[in-house]
Structure 1
């Protein structure tokens, strides 16, 4: 954890600077506890304008009986240890009572005054003189609402003086200012003057917005990316109050509710954030100042948790009418509760409510929740969701389950599947239900709107417990087993999920539609041991099953599944099924199936290389998912669309999008891996070979472990390309061996667009040219009769690699040109450029150097425009070897340093490794934070890293000098693909 940086207050800081630049100035900064008043003042004091002044900061502690002028006395003592030598007038003798330790250096005490007012006025004048002698130009007083009366009078004295001796800045919580306080006079005077005086400013600080919250959280997490979902979650729980944001993030870290994954931070537990101690203590201190009736009403309001009328609060608090009204008035006057003017009362701040709630002892809390439930039961209609929550907290399991299911049913009937899923999940996971109730509830789950791998994982134990209960009839057991199989499939545990479905199908005669859906899922080719024919048999069984009761939505779902599965199996008739999927429907259940169909068919169109179809289907899926809040479909569609952008060369901003998607808490495991794959592919193209290899290895291992065989082909191919470029032939063979065997065994050659060329290249590099030829021939047979542009482009590349391995340079060049044209037609520009690079290599080997170098110069330019800077470096090295003065692509930084860090970038990088923030680095190097951020961004681009953490690791693991932070020279790269940074 890092100290939070100062964010979201640029405008306020500028306004303070403008006001204090026009003396005499009075600046009033107000806001609730934790809003950032002190931080704003502290950051202003760090500005050049404030450093040019002599600023004295006085702080008012929350003492029950504060000392007279105590804040001023303490501030002056901190500013100077002695007054000896100061040009003080005899008036300064009035300060002796305040500073007895300086008696020897102060003038003699003045004579008696007429009254206490005159004495106080004399002290004020003497204190103002002391400030002038100390050359104080601005007096800042923090938490002035806790100041003693004399300090407040002194501030009024300074503000009223002509000329005003010093500028004033005060911070205040308006809600803590007593009704008769002198502070109100100061605020009123300031408000009256601010319209006409340039140096008068009243600044009311509001909470941060979601973007500001994201920046604040990110600054605490080493500058790493914070997703919109995470930022929105923290903002909702803290109302954007900076102190609450900081405390909440720290509390999540202390509870290990944060984890670093996929290049950014995410939270493990989504539903609750406890109240930070800093905010809690503030609220509880105020609570303790109230009488017992007010405290009882506050506890009742905290338990109810929403605006409520006096009668409801009174019933929950258990007070008589008179005592309840008195307590309510006291709580409202104290600022913790707010009346909306229509008789509804609630806490002003969500964290205040949480603090009071947490302070209620559990036995009393259960009693209050029970009262709240019984009270709200009298309403018509009953607020079933609130009743479920109250009885849950009261430990009344029967009422909790009854109202929880009623609430889920109501949500489902209203189309709010997200809420329904959360309610049902809570009941199944936490209520300890009997097996029959689990069967009933699990069948209601709206899985399309249910997201998050952890939440699916939590469903497994109660479902297994229901199966182990031995009280279920065969049909009920089948119902639970098929849902368990579905959950396991959603989690990516394919083998286990399929096993449950196979065991369930014979006992689903009472629900033929569910039996057909289970058969359809078994038809999806995700099992490593089944050939295409086995999957097709399950698909045909599902199609033959008579289901008279099947709804229109079910029929749409079956059509979508048939189309998707057949396309995944490489069956051309899948496109006939695809054409029968409509664009929309009027019924919600049908629209959900259409959304899913568009998502899955879009994915399959990418596999086949029909990118226009893929774009249309995925965009349609996104539009429907956004409109209907299908969160799981939405996140999956966003990831798949990003993958399509990788293929088609739409790389601008793609790395940031992929990282944000990987950060999302709603994304499922396989979709998260796809996001990480995109990031790894981009890193490899950019020349960040070591982190790319690490990420691709992670994706490959996880997809193989989960049984996502079709998804594992692309990361295996990309990783093989990296290691083969580094000369590690045996490793490339090992990486591609099992994926290639899966394709051959299952005969799903449609999956070989990337894996086929990678495997053939590895075999050729190992001298196993005959095996490469056999694989290429099998690939060609497997695609016979299939209009699959991407696999056919891959096949063309295999033939070119094979010809090159046989020493047929000129034919190989022609074949690489043909492969490049096939890739470009998709369009897939990156693969087309790599094929053209290989074409040029064959031309050079054949003695056609001039044509080859002309082609390479064009390839270099287009690789740079695309963003494949690592590949461009390799092309530049080839051009230089043949006498062409080609420039390496710039990755940022000052002209003249190339890919090496400039001295300033090196300084910034080393300070990052010490854990300093951008602002701290700026102070150390006398730069602006913006300039530091620019140097940091340039250094990260040059070194091929995407986070401060990775940059710090590089810096701390390197030796002296600058060379350790440079990219490897392009001349050290192997021909054809990038080489990993660490060989």
Structure 2
């Protein structure tokens, strides 16, 4: 039966189509676009997208479409992305190969055609890496051509697809790419999993949403005119408009029903409306429609032939009838069939009798089991698991459901893995013991078996709980992970398995910290007690490693260092290299903070080199951790330049492996070292870059601390206090790590003191000092003690400040004795503290300030140096000794403060100069003639990053190209270029490039004309 139901005339939606074509134009100009298109089922979303893609193809764009696939109510992991990338690969094989080069093993988790995927799925770290690599793949493919990526039916999207889409929309920043996602708005009920994602995307200014309404009476008339090819009768328009309520799909169905003479028999129920045309098909065509409805969103012809029990000729005739009636469509790749509208498929599936549904699923499963080649490789296991499950055959379903869960884990589809594992737990008791006894855990699983168990032992229910706990944690559902771990503990009450119990307690320790339910120590202590006295094992080593790293953050000292040593020893005994490397990071960090600087740093550098050498997925958590901890440790001991170099390499490594949130931490650490070095303009850039990619709460809190530090340095007290409040809201009292307590306390204390709120500042100090300072906290504690002494000195002479001062200063002196100064930067703060304490006691001591200034000058810390020179000048003036020297010091301090933008220090130096009648307006000294052997670029005052940017300007790169090569945003590249132009004294990029070539700043550059 041939029928015409789709109007050849595009009706209405002119405004919506204009919005989409405008987005297409912006994408073609190099500004990536993200669009959401929603509307109720049948309202015309697909037709609108078809019109847009037609326009895009006419403009030379490449269009790739992927739909979310629902199989028995379960989504396939990453289905729309896999389908869309598969389409891109068919159209642009060379471009996809070039864009994926070097990362094929990872990207194969989404696009299996790229080859075998890398082994070793590592939870959140692996998933984050995969997401970043996928976004980068799309950006590279869209670098030279316009690409339109359409992702349909988000209401069926699996959790992994939703997470990847959210990541794409948040991080997409380059390429000629237009991403459009559609969803069925009437399905998004209050508890629908897509609802939180839509709310999140609505908050992104980079995402636009279009909601399609129903057709008006005039638009329905236009649609019917297109369907019938003639002007419809007014009565017919009124009837169809009234019964369809303007829904475009219902209009089509009613039009065909009426045209076919079914007017009187048509009921008002939606299901009957959708089924009426199916029921007019021949019996064989109806049978095929039922198979397609139960087989999934798309069913391949060979699978239909195996299940339909029809001859090939009869099957083709049945399919021809269904296609001719516009009920089924041929898939884009031409090897299968799908429903033209999903509402019809749902209606047919709902109309199946319970026994009929299980029988169809059994036949589908048996056919696929007999011939696995009937469906695509990456869908086979998931579909087979679904078919056997809905066939209600636990013996057949349990093994294949477990296999599907392993495949989901290897694709980082952790939410789908969790759903499958929970289904396996549901099937466990129903499956025969003989089936359960044959099950074995996969070789690459993270949790089974703990060392010491028989690796050939059958899979247990407890193993399912272990895998499910990790899947829930890795998928971001930590509440569910905690609930599963508690359930496992109840099972363990009846089982003597201390290793597995210890493993679960370490999981609970991490989860309560992540969920802000505590600091996790009680759980770790329980795990430690469970493994005490047991032979060395991977679990034992892991517990000790966790104890050491927890101690490094909460109670650094000899006990934590000893735990790290034992963890390394045990890990080596059992050959657990990743645990060993993790413990060595902690050991290197603690060794450095304990004063054995070279030994500790050598250990950390060695670990970094080994992690880079490994270069596999399993090493990603280690890569993230070492790239964060190494620059932080270097900064702690005053090696700020070295810390900057380590951080910049860490940014590159994290970016290459897609560790976006870890990259945010590294950039935040970079900003700390840049602040120490006085490169405050770059600090702002680094913080902004970190903020743009920081999504985890603690990463955002660290960014807030860095913003507060810069704001306080610039004298913006309101901003400093606001940012400290944001950080404290995340770090909070549930998990009081000294590094997250002492630093923000100093910022809040100094801000309050400088605004005259001394009582509040003292309260901050008293609260933090009540807990004391653990070993290794000199980087945070010494600046805090200096600030306390300084605020007490500033308040000297105020009547309300005298009470309590002596007690506070005594506390400062007592705490300082407990902080050995074994590196130059700690020694410099020690000298600064001595000078501030003398000032607080009313002692004029220029020599103390001279020593402090000399110490900071040697360390190239301009802000501390300028402050010391200011105080030195004040004491010289108070002592009436060396007025000229004091004037010179004031000029130096004032010049440095102005260059930094340290407004408070600028005001202080100007007030002192005014009282002493010292002019700060001086003629700058002539710089000595440059050494011909010196670095020509450095002589221009450019920072290392500005050197990199200038080189690329000289090569003729645009800001966007510079950003892509240096892993920064175009805005950041623009800021660097502006700074370069100012320093070179030129008016534009062409002059800057010409100067670079004329002065031969980069000897390996070929002459060019940018």
The two structures have a TM-score, normalised by structure 2, of 0.54
2:497 counterpart (469, 474, 489): 474
Aligned to 2:544: 519
2:372 pairs with 1:379: yes
SS in 1 for 2:756: coil
C-alpha distance in 2 between matches for 1:867 and 1:278: 57
Contact kept? 2:665, 2:690, Cα under 8 Å: no
On the 8 A contact 1:258/1:266 being kept in 2, the answer is no
Question: Is the CA contact 1:740–1:755 (under 8 Å) kept in the aligned structure 2?
Answer: no
1:506 aligns with 2:530: yes
Q: Hey, what's the Cα distance between the residues in 2 that align with 1:278 and 1:791?
A: 70
Q: Residue 526 of structure 1: CA displacement? A: 4.5
Q: Report the Cα distance in structure 1 between the residues aligned to 2:193 and 2:618, rounded to whole angstroms.
A: 43
Whether 1:37 and 2:17 are equivalent positions in the alignment is yes
Q: Is 1:776–1:799's contact at 8 Å kept on the other side of the alignment?
A: no
Report the Cα offset of residue 721 of structure 1: 0.8
Contact 1:296 1:327 in 2 (8 A): no
CA contact (8 A) 2:821 2:827 kept: no
- 1:83 is matched with none
**1:340 and 2:332 are equivalent in the alignment:** yes
Cα RMSD (Å):
5.9
Alignment CA distance shift 1:302-1:443 (3 Å): same
Q: Deviations over 1:289-315 (max 9, x none)?
A: 784379999998898777653344788
Give SS of 1:240's match.
strand
Give 2:702's aligned residue.
Answer: 674
Q: Cα distance 1:388–1:710, how it changes in 2: closer, same or farther (>3 A)?
A: farther
Secondary structure of the residue that 2:574 maps to in structure 1? coil
Contact 1:449–1:629 (8 Å) recurs in 2: no
Separation in 2, partners of 1:471, 1:429: 21
What's the counterpart of residue 309 of structure 1?
300
Partner of 1:456 in structure 2?
478
Tell me the secondary structure at the aligned position of residue 520 of structure 2. helix
- Is residue 2:638 matched to residue 1:609? yes
- Please report how far the alpha carbon of residue 651 of structure 1 lies from its aligned counterpart in structure 2 after TM superposition: 4.1
Q: Deviation of residue 693 (structure 1)?
A: 0.4
Aligned counterpart for 1:440 among listed residues 444, 463, 466: 463
Distance 2:173 2:185 in 1: 10
The residue matched to 2:477 in structure 1 has which SS?
helix
Alignment gaps of 5+ in structure 2: 1-8, 24-41, 56-144, 151-164, 216-245, 257-273, 430-458, 796-800, 922-970, 972-1010
Structure 2 counterpart of 1:231: 170
Task: State the match for 1:9 in structure 2.
Answer: none
Correspondence for 2:591: 566
Check the 8 A contact 1:680/1:695 in 2, yes or no.
Answer: yes
Q: How does 1:129-278 map to 2 (within 5 A)?
A: 229-231=168-170, 240-241=179-180, 255=195
Who is 1:154 aligned against? none
Indicate conservation of the 8 Å contact 2:661/2:699, yes or no.
no
Cα deviation digits, residues 870-903 of structure 1 (max 9, x gap): 654665566667778999xxxxxxxxxxxxxxxx
The 1:232/1:546 distance shift into structure 2, 3 A limit, reads closer
Deviation, 1:717, is: 0.9
Aligned twin of 2:728: 700
Task: Tell me, in whole angstroms, the C-alpha distance in 1 between the residues paired with 2:565 and 2:502.
Answer: 22
CA contact (8 A) 1:646 1:678 kept: no
Aligned to 2:822: 786
8 Å CA contact 2:664–2:691 kept in 1: the answer is no
- Residue by residue over 1:582-641, the C-alpha shift from the partner in whole angstroms, topping out at 9 and shown as x without a partner, is 353246377447523343233222222222443344344444444444566444434433
> Residues 31 and 733 from structure 1, CA distance in 2 versus in 1: closer, same or farther, beyond 3 angstroms?
farther
Q: Residue 705 of structure 1: SS of its match in structure 2? A: coil
| 1:725 Cα deviation from its structure 2 partner | 0.3
Residues 73-116 of structure 1: per-residue CA shift (max 9 Å, x gap):
xxxxxxxxxxxxxxxxxxxxxxxxxxxxxxxxxxxxxxxxxxxx
Within a 5 Å distance, the mapping from 1:813-832 to structure 2 comes to 814-816=847-849, 818-823=851-856, 825-832=858-865
Q: Do the aligned partners of residues 228 and 295 (structure 1) sit closer, same or farther apart at CA in structure 2, a change above 3 Å counting?
A: farther
The 5-angstrom pairing of residues 13-92 of structure 1 reads: 36-39=16-19
Residue deviations 1:513-555 (CA, integer Å, cap 9, x gap): 2212212322346589857344344345445658632233333
**Residues 1:758 and 2:787 are matched in the alignment:** yes
The alpha carbon displacement at 1:728 in A equals 1.2
Distance 1:758 1:853, change over 3 A: same
Deviations 1:955-977 (A, max 9, x none): xxxxxxxxxxxxxxxxxxxxxxx
Structure 2 CA distance for partners of 1:286 and 1:260, relative to 1, 3 Å: same
Question: Any idea what the Cα deviations from partners look like across 1:177-228, whole Å, max 9, x if unmatched?
Answer: xxxxxxxxxxxxxxxxxxxxxxxxxxxx988899xxxxxxxxxxxxxxx997
Is residue 866 of structure 1 aligned with residue 909 of structure 2? no
Question: For 2:865 and 2:184, how far apart are their aligned partners in 1?
Answer: 48
Contact 1:485–1:499, Cα closer than 8 Å, also in 2: yes
Alignment: residue pair count: 676
Alignment of 1:389-468 (within 5 A): 402-403=399-400, 405-407=402-404, 409-410=406-407, 418-419=412-413, 421-426=414-419, 439-440=462-463, 454-468=476-490
Q: Residues 885-944 of structure 1, C-alpha deviation per residue, up to 9 Å, x if partnerless? A: 999xxxxxxxxxxxxxxxxxxxxxxxxxxxxxxxxxxxxxxxxxxxxxx9xxxxxxxxxx
- CA displacement at 1:715 relative to structure 2: 1.1
8 Å Cα contact 1:36/1:242 also seen in 2: no
Displacement of 1:683: 3.3
TM-aligned CA deviation for residue 808 of structure 1: 2.8
User: Following the alignment from structure 1 to structure 2, what is the Cα–Cα distance between the partners of residues 284 and 825?
Assistant: 79
| Structure 1 residues 322 and 258: alpha-carbon distance in aligned structure 2, compared to 1, 3 A threshold | closer
Residues 875 and 504 from structure 1, CA distance in 2 versus in 1: closer, same or farther, beyond 3 angstroms?
Answer: same
Deviation at 1:723, TM superposition (A): 0.5
**Could you say if the C-alpha distance between residues 809 and 356 of structure 1 is closer, same or farther in structure 2, counting changes exceeding 3 Å?**
farther
CA deviation digits over 1:478-533, x for unaligned, max 9?
23222222333555666334434434542473662221221232234658985734
Q: Tell me if the contact between 2:171 and 2:693 (Cα under 8 Å) persists in the aligned partners.
A: no
Partners of 1:437 and 1:751 in 2: how far apart?
49
Matches of 2:676 and 2:184 in 1, distance apart?
39
Contact map agreement 1:302 1:357 (CA 8 A) in 2: yes
Higher CA-based Rg:
1
